[in-house]
């Protein structure tokens, strides 16, 4: 089963994430059409206990908008794994 976990609860750790992963994060954020300053939290995606991706949550620009989560699946988590997981969630053998 897929799970999403907020890894970085406080501002100090969030700033550390932005510092440690600046190059990679900027590239992913730019690809999603966002700015680094618009991010509010870091999340990780897991398939049971296996880390399958990292991502972030963008802040709402306006009060009525919802925050958005962006997940970038790690290359080691293959398309075959994704399909198997979807089938398992849908209970298809």
Sort residue 48 into left (φ over 0), alpha (ψ -120 to 50) or beta. left
Q: Show the tokens assigned to 10.
A: 């406080």
Produce one character per residue of 46-85: b if its CB has 16 or more CB atoms within 10 Å, e if not: ebeeeebbbbbbbeeeeeeeeeeebebeeeebeeeeeeeb
Domain ranges, ordered by start, for the chain = 2-90
Q: Would you give per-residue pLDDT tens digits along the chain (93 residues)? A: 455 555 544 455 555 555 555 556 667 667 777 666 677 666 777 777 777 777 777 776 666 666 677 776 666 666 666 666 666 656 655
Q: What are phi and psi of 43, to 5 degrees?
A: -130, 155
């Amino acid at each position: 089963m897929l799970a999403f976990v907020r890894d970085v609860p406080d501002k100090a750790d969030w700033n550390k994430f932005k510092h440690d992963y600046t190059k990679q994060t900027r590239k992913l954020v730019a690809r999603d059409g966002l700015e680094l300053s618009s991010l509010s939290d870091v999340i990780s995606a897991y398939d049971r206990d296996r880390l399958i991706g990292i991502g972030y949550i963008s802040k709402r620009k306006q009060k009525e908008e919802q925050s958005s989560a962006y997940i970038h699946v790690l290359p080691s988590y293959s398309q075959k794994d994704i399909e198997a997981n979807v089938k398992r969630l849908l209970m298809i053998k």
